[in-house]
Structure 1
Amino acid sequence: MAGEQTKAYIEAQRKAGKSDIAIFNSMIDIPKFKAGIEQGNKLGHTNRQIAQGLGLNISSQPVDLDKVKKDAMLAEGKKAGKTNTMDSVAMGLTGGIGGGAAQGFYKLIDLVAGGANKVIGRDYLPTNQYKKFTQQRQDFADLHNAQREANDQGFDWVQLGTGIASEAPLAVLGRGYQGAKILSKAGAKVTGQNALVGAGIGGSSFAGDVEQRLSNTVLSGLGGAAGAAVGEKIGQGLGKAIQTGKNTASKFSTTQTNQFLSQINQKLDDALNQHGMSLGDLSNEVVSSLRKDALKAFQSGKNLNADAIARKAVLDKLGLKGTKAQVSGDAKEWQQQAELAKINGAGDPLREKFIDDNVQLTRLLNEASDTTKGTSVDSYEAMDSALKSIQDQLGQNKEYIRTAYNSARQAQGNDVKLGGADFVQEANKALKDSYATMELPASIRSILKRFEKKPDEFTLGESEAVIKKLNQAHQASLKIDGTPSSETYAIGLVRDVLNNRQNTTLQNLASQNNPAAELYQLGRQAHGFNANQIESMPLLQDAVKGVEPDKLFNKHILGGNVNELDKTIQILKNVSPQSVNDIKQQVVEFISKKAINSNGQFSPSGMKGALDKLTDRRMLTMFSPKEFSQIKDISKAADYLISQPPHSYVNNSNTSATLANHFLGLLKLPGARIALSAVKDVPDSIAVSKAMQPSIAGEAIPISQGTQDLIERLTRAGLISGSNLPNQ
């Protein structure tokens, strides 16, 4: 039972002329009424039941659009009366080869008129004769069938006999080339093959009928093929029915709308997650396109195809458009697409699309190369420039080390004593413990004897001179092949003892602000850093050995240890960023050479093989995640656009298409060729047009009336285009 406040509100709205549906819809958006309605929903009551409890009368009977349309047609057919024999003959003649011939004739007229208009510079001649004929034939057929049904005339045997008689000769002619099957579909496939020139339906009067029909189509949201007189009545009837038959679900709160759109986003995100992507990775334009396609899928009563969503997202990111089969990846659709592409004339758009796919993929790889900002001609130049940059940096490091040591030798604090006796004692013990005393060269043994006799001469400055001599002796003791000898081992023991004593002393002296100690320590650190860089970069070691730069590129950039490559790139980023750009450019060029064949054909497997060889880790040492993602997307797009799905069984022999085209080529008579073109080209062109339109729709799913109404509202709000009404 409604409260006094509610009753007063309803009464005021009724006095204002609002319908019960409009009143209830407005109450949903008013907080004080909304709370009560939501409480009723929680108790299990529908909005219609709640409205009835408030005294609002809302019809629950949905509008049967098909019935309204059919009833209107039958009413007009009843008024027109029974059909006669000539009507049936006209239907039979114009439904077959004769209609196709006329249709082809008017198509030719339109093409000629269009060319003339271009020459004249204005639309002087009409170019819609084909369209008028097509609609006229359908108008006549709709009214003819409505007349017969409304007046209980039964099956039209005259029409059937006339159609068979008119098509039989050509059907016999085509049977030898498997053309009979094509011809048998002439009447069903070609919409409105009309030759009603003498039937009293003139072109000018028809033009007015078209405008009136389109007006009613826009008004009611229903497309159809109704005739001029019939269509007007149907449009008016449906317009009234739709406006008066809307139920309470036709208006939704912002919360409900947002919830529905959120569900769309979640479904899209779930599908993308299955392929390592998310909505957050995509631009607003790509997300908007996917939402629009998702709403279209739900509008048609179908679920979303996760694979198609991922494929379309990749293509959209790159600015590419896929066909229906390319986006779905469905083997059957791919096979059908391949057969359509083989058809001369009708299949031209598909073939041109496939050629353009190669062009666009090549363009994207070229753009990826340009984005690196590399300027090198080839890998030799890129690697040579990089090596020179690194070697220049190492040379600067060595100069810095020499400067640090020279400054240390001239600084105060070099006369600090390091304990010569203790040093000699430790060195002899290390040699004895390792049984290497006899292997120590005489030159080094004499140094130890000197400090044993004069320990006070072993100062900080003198210890640096001894280190230099030990390093020289160590290098000289190596074998010809670079491996250490027994002398090398013995010298190393003495050097280690001296290094340990120096490190301890330098740390103590540096903490006491000893100038010489600080500079020596700085020089030692710089020398160690430089040595570690060279040791960690086999690339440099090979360069020193004289390996050619292009071979170094193949070995260390395209292959080799990833950690070593990372160190090389990090050094180059500091010393020569342009060298990094050049290397990246040559890596993309390497990928391009594998991806594009000598004939210009793009090879998805070639590009995938190149990326597999490089590996993701290697690519990410050189490219940013965004750059690498772009390159991987190009590889994915190539696979989607070119690679045949498993089990697609594409007939690459072109046999079936060749047979049909050969059949047309045998007929020399212009009239016969026009007739057959109408039979074959129009259905093929329609099929090609459908194949060119991608979709992310999947399997059919049941959709509740509430959801369907919400989709309709979103459509009217401009979120998607098209009508939600059936039979369009």
Structure 2
Amino acid sequence: MPTYRVTGPDGGTYEVNAPEGATEQDAIAYVQGQQTKKVSMPAPGATSLKGSSAGGVFMGLRDAVDAGAQLLRRAVPDSVGNAVDSFGNYLADAGLPVARSTGVSGVDSIVKGANKEYEDSRKLAGRDGIDLARIGGNIANPINRIVPMGAASTAGVAGRAALQGAVSGLATPVLNTDSFGTNKAAQVGLGAATGAAGGYVADKAIKGASRVLDKAKAAARSPELSRLDADALLQRAAQDQGADLSAIPESILSSAREQVGRALRRNETIDPRAVLRAAEGRAVLGDEAALTLGQATRDPMLYAREANLRGVDGAGNALTGRFAAQNQALINALNSRGASAAPGEMAAGQRLVGALQNYDEGLNANIRNLYGQAEALNGGSIPLDHRGFADTALGSLDKAMKTGFLPSEIRNIVNGVSKGEIPLNISTSEQIKSTIAAAMRKAQRAGDGNEAYALGLVRDALENTQPMQRAAEFGGSQVVPAGAALPPSSIGAETQAAFNAARAAARERFSRLESVPAYAAAADDMAPDKFFQKHVLGATARDFNSMMSLIPDQANVVRTQMLDFLKNKAIGGASDEVGKFSQSAYNKAIKQIGDTKLLAMFEPAEVAALKSVGRVASYIQAPPAGAAVNNSNTASAVMNLIGQMSGRIGSLPGVNLARNSVQQFMNERAVGNALSGQIPTQAAEAGVDALRPRLLPYAGGGGLLGAYMGQ
């Protein structure tokens, strides 16, 4: 028997078993005697495409629009809503894809119709169960991620997720519109509750995953890799602070590497700059006077607390002792490098002057020896061309218009030589040169450039004067024309070469006297104390290097005396027992000397060590920015006053409590931590911070579950 589908009086569609050829009316009549089954037909617009995963994502994105339309239509006055409805209906009548709507019920009908069409489409597409595609569209909708989840604590994340869940409840359409207000409130409340729960669980899960990840990273990090990373961090810290790792003994530096590497292996954070300061402090001060915690970390609060506690009776004594030991250790750091062995500026200057004079005497002895060889080859003294010298000297002065600047004593010598009154030979020429040199140094000291230039012209003329040509001896069969002059005869090639060598040596000596101010000052017998001040402390790097190139064996004298100079600058000339090391005065002196001159006196490692002394002194004495150091010691005085209370006042419980609290704080916390100097470490949060930005934006998605529960 065939089956017919007929529409019943109630509007439903039924399947009816009726005889072959029966009409619809026959089938309806036959319904009474047959088993019937109501069939739910798909909505008119339902299609398998709309029920696909893409359709689900679209519906998830649309939900917020539908929910907003429901809320907005109920919120605006009817006059506004009716006007909007009329305009929308006009567009629909014009053929545009706009749904017709009238009043709140019209909006609700559109929302419910759209959801009915989607659910029927899902059935056509064969999709059932949890609608993950629609949930994905909801999560992708910006309205469901509008609240940021970047809170620092789990409670903060849960609170923000609860707020996001409430927003998601507002953004979810209501399908049971008979009790719209109640259902919407349920959506908001349930959304907030499930959102908070989801945020809490998500944050805990993220932290747990981060810990596992961090432990895995720490386990995978080998000790060798940790040491390499630690060394790189210390190198960077040294660059930031202008430190030189070569100034730190390897035993101390390796300990610092291990400290940083251990923190890395444990996934802890540590300040490598503080570790480096502590290591540098140990290298300069030793273990007994090492930097305190506040000095090493440069933490303003710790530094100020240590400084203010130093004058407190009792516990403050340990800090006072540490600071005194540090002061003495800074002085000893210079003494151990040679400052204590310094001879003093007078003695040092005398040694340098004496060494330069010995050097000069060696040059003079060589010059005398070379001239002596020339005279020996000549068979006697070698006379020089006195007229040629005088003519050249006076001609050069006239040409340069410097005749009037020539000192009278030198002018008299030139005139005497010209007239033959003063013999000019090798011996007298050297005497004249010495006289001219002394006059030139006097002119230079007086700053008289014209006089010095005039003297230089005379000296050049004398140095270029050639030996006199002596007349040849005639006899035997030699013949000369009657009345002809006797021909000149050379002094001989060998003698001329010896003379030229002696004259070159003399010229080289005068050149060095001019180019090395310290040499000229020593030759002029300058006072030793003034010599050290001017030609060591006050010399340019170039002049200092020029001096030391002549007397390299005196380098240790210069080094030790320079160390003593730095120490005296640091302690203001006081004795080691009472002197207070000043980091500002010391560092100023180091800067005044300059790297170029320091490197001329010391090896690079020694220069690095001297600068390290200045940095460590700064860590001790220069307060970090923001450190409220009470230099007047009023804070210490107040603490001492509390500690000294006695009698009736001291018997009061409140006073005793305050006194004991201060003493306990000083003894157990501040002083102990300060003297330990142990750089603290903290558990790293890098792994959590790396995961949160990726997962937390969706933590509030748990509110969508509550929102759907309230539909």
Pair 501,646 (structure 1): closer, same or farther in 2 beyond 3 Å: farther
* Corresponding position: 1:538 with 2:517: yes
1:346 aligns to what?
315
2:384 matches 1:384? no
Match of 2:565 in 1: 587
Q: Does 1:684 align with 2:666?
A: yes
- Supply the distance in 2 between the matched residues of 1:325 and 1:685 (Cα, whole angstroms): 16
Q: Partner letter of residue 674 of structure 2?
A: A
C-alpha offsets along residues 279-306 of structure 1, whole Å, 9 cap, x if unaligned? Answer: 5654321222212331454477654435
- SS of the residue corresponding to residue 601 of structure 1 reads coil
User: Could you list the runs of 5+ residues in structure 1 that have no partner in the other structure?
Assistant: 1-244, 451-461, 503-512, 708-728
Name the residue aligned to 2:42: none
2:363–2:509 Cα contact (<8 Å) kept: yes
SS of residue in 2 equivalent to 1:666: coil
- Residue 368 of structure 1 aligns to a residue whose secondary structure is coil
Q: Which residue of 2 aligns with 1:631?
A: 610
Give the TM-score, by structure 2 length: 0.50
SS in 2 for 1:332: helix
- Of 340, 348, 358, which aligns to 2:327? 358
Cα distance in 2 for residues equivalent to 1:385 and 1:566: 17
- Match of 1:645? 624
Aligned to 2:579: 600
Matches within 5 A, 1:436-455: none
Q: Cα–Cα, structure 1 residues 337 and 317, in superposed 2: closer, same or farther, change >3 Å?
A: same
Decide whether the 8 Å contact of 2:570 with 2:583 is kept in 1. Answer: no
* Paired position in structure 2 for 1:407: 373
The CA distance in 2 between the partners of 1:476 and 1:682, in whole Å, is 77
Superposed, 1:221-240 pairs within 5 Å as none
Of 263, 284, 306, which aligns to 2:229?
263
Residue 325 of structure 1, CA deviation = 0.7
Could you tell me how far 1:636 is from its partner in structure 2? 1.5
**Paired amino acid for 1:317:** A
2:336 matched to which residue of 1?
367
Q: After superposition, where does 1:86-125 map in structure 2 within 5 Å?
A: none
Report deviation, 1:566: 1.9
> Which residues in structure 2 correspond to 1:248-287 (within 5 Å)?
249=216, 256-277=222-243, 279=245, 282-287=248-253
The 1:648–1:434 alpha-carbon spacing in structure 2 relative to 1, beyond 3 Å, is closer
CA–CA distance in structure 1, aligned partners of residues 585 and 547 of structure 2: 28
The 2-side partners of 1:267 and 1:541 are apart by 52
Query: What does residue range 416-565 of structure 1 map to in structure 2 within 5 Å?
Result: 484=451, 495=462, 498=465, 515-543=494-522, 547-565=526-544
1:702 to 682, 685, 706: 685
**Contact persistence 1:342–1:657 (CA under 8 A):** yes
Contact 1:401 1:527 survives alignment (8 Å): yes
Provide Cα deviations, 1:363-399, integer angstroms capped at 9, x if missing partner: 222222357x54x2x2112212221222122123212
Q: Determine the structure 2 residue equivalent to 1:665.
A: 644
Give ranges in structure 2 of 5+ residues lacking alignment: 1-211, 405-410, 445-449, 470-491, 691-711
The answer to whether the 8 A contact 1:594-1:610 is kept is no
| Contact preservation (8 Å) 1:595, 1:606 | no
Q: Structure 2 CA distance, aligned partners of 1:428 and 1:657?
A: 82
- Displacement, 1:544? 5.6
Aligned CA RMSD, in angstroms, stands at 5.1
Match of 1:398 in 2: 364
Q: Which residue in 2 is equivalent to 1:713?
A: none
Retained in 1: the 8 A contact 2:303–2:627?
yes
**Closer/same/farther in 2, CA of residues 248 and 466 from structure 1, 3 Å limit:** closer
Whose Rg is larger? 2
Following superposition, the deviation at residue 599 of structure 1 comes to: 4.4
Is the contact between residue 271 and residue 309 of structure 1 (CA under 8 Å) also seen in structure 2? no
Partners of 1:700 and 1:573 in 2: how far apart? 56
**Pair 701,613 (structure 1): closer, same or farther in 2 beyond 3 Å:** same
Identity %: 19
Q: CA deviation at 1:516?
A: 3.1
Question: Is it true that 1:619 corresponds to 2:601 in the alignment?
Answer: no
Q: 2:676 aligned to 689, 693, 697, which one?
A: 693
Whether the 8 Å CA contact 2:374–2:496 is kept in 1: the answer is yes
Post-superposition offset of 1:406: 0.5
Q: 1:289 aligns with which of 231, 236, 255?
A: 255
Task: Kindly indicate whether the alpha-carbon contact (under 8 Å) linking 1:572 and 1:580 is maintained by their aligned counterparts in 2.
Answer: no
Other-structure match for 1:311: 277
TM-score (norm 1): 0.49
Task: Provide the secondary structure at the position in 2 that maps to 1:524.
Answer: helix
Distance, in Å, in 2 between the alignment partners of 1:278 and 1:564 is: 28
Deviation at 1:493, TM superposition (A): 7.4
2:549 maps to a residue whose letter is: Q
CA drift at 1:309: 3.8
Contact kept, 8 Å, 1:368 with 1:588, in 2: the verdict is no
Aligned pairs (5 A) from 1:193-204? none
- State the one-letter code of the partner of 2:533: N
User: Relative to structure 1, is the Cα distance of residues 572 and 579 closer, same or farther in structure 2, using a 3 angstrom cutoff?
Assistant: farther
Query: For the residues of structure 1 that align with 2:247 and 2:438, how far apart are their CA atoms?
Result: 60
Structure 1: distance between partners of 2:439 and 2:245:
65
Alignment of 1:324-339 (within 5 A): 324-339=293-308
